Amino acid sequence: MPRVLITTDYLRPGDEVDDYLRAAGLETRHVSMVGRRDPEDLVSALAGVDAALVANEPLTAGVLARAPRLRVVVRTGVGYDSIDIEAARRLGVGVSNLPGINANAVAEYTLGLLLAAARRLVHSATGVLAGGWPREDGHELRGATLGLVGFGAAARAVVPLARAFGMDVVCTTGVPEGARGDLGVRFVPFAELLAVSDYVSIHTALTDSTRGMFDASAFARMKTTAVLINTARGAVVDERALADAVRTGGIAGAALDVVTREPLPTDSPLRGVDGITVYSHLAGQTAQARRAAGLAGAAELVAALEGRARFTVN
């Protein structure tokens, strides 16, 4: 009986995903992993395992090499930068993700961050908690320009929500022109997007070309009143450069759902910077998105074990 490791923290023994996998003739092992994952813990968890349903566990070449039975890895999400794809290919391990599975959740959350930043909601609530009664002006989204960096499923889902608030939307993307559709978006070079946007929202995958793309030179091109939103991957942003830009007034602020190291380290340069708010990687974490991701991940895992993977990335 093939054995499946499940590390995604919201999946539990006896839930519908577990029932689905067991009904497919698989033995399940749950080792919930949150926070910083120790490679040795991963190696131990993968011992004797044929397939794995994972979140953001760092499946490095070293870890994968010590899991000789492993044949299939399925991410219960979209990004797969925590997995060494090339090493998995060399070792004969198929890797799948679930493209677009939480796009609506991420889009709604992005608008939530935009509203929170525009109306200074966190500042107001923390001020009241501290005994004050903050009354500074906020800003309306209507008439503002939103710049989207990347045009995958989540970014596309943001567009109608932003336009419903009366925002103009511009985008920088590598998606070919013929595949973009007609969503009322103006596509511009990255430098122009930085210059014209009141809010810049990151939706690109983490690759060698996007790692650190928001550096000091990028922030220098942005409006001093602009706000950065990141629901993609933390490493797309140079965090020290961001902290410096906000602290010195180069840009107005940032709302970050993702950071380079999660949970946020105590010595992070993002801590203690007025105008930067860090959230705990919640964009895709709705009850609906979690259920959909769990079931779709289980279905992809079963299909992959049978040689019918639909969303393989390697």
Tokens of 2: 């093939």
Question: How far apart, in whole angstroms, are the C-alpha atoms of residue 85 and residue 89?
Answer: 6
Max distance between CA atoms of the chain, in angstroms, equals 63
If we measure between CA atoms, which residue out of 241, 259, 155, 239 comes closest to residue 202? 155
Report which DSSP code applies to 59. B
Which one from 233, 239, 290, 300 is the annotated catalytic residue? 233
Beta-carbon contacts of residue 20 (< 8 Å; ≥ 6 apart): 295, 298, 299, 302
Question: How far apart, in whole angstroms, are the C-alpha atoms of residue 219 and residue 234?
Answer: 16
Which one from 57, 281, 290, 300 is the annotated catalytic residue? 281
If we measure between CA atoms, which residue out of 299, 250, 307, 256 comes closest to residue 281? 256
Q: Prior bond to 68 cis, omega within 30? A: no
If we measure between CA atoms, which residue out of 278, 193, 184, 191 comes closest to residue 229? 278
First to last CA, the chain: 25
- Cβ–Cβ < 8 Å for 303, 73: no
Catalytic residue at 262? Answer: yes
Which one from 163, 221, 262, 291 is the annotated catalytic residue? 262
Catalytic residue at 281? Answer: yes
Catalytic residue at 139? Answer: no
State the CB neighbour count (10 A cutoff) for residue 29.
16
If we measure between CA atoms, which residue out of 311, 299, 294, 305 comes closest to residue 3? 305
For residue 191, give Cα distances in angstroms to 20, 128, 188, 201, 231.
Answer: 48, 39, 8, 14, 21
If we measure between CA atoms, which residue out of 148, 177, 146 comes closest to residue 163? 146
Catalytic residue set: 233, 262, 281
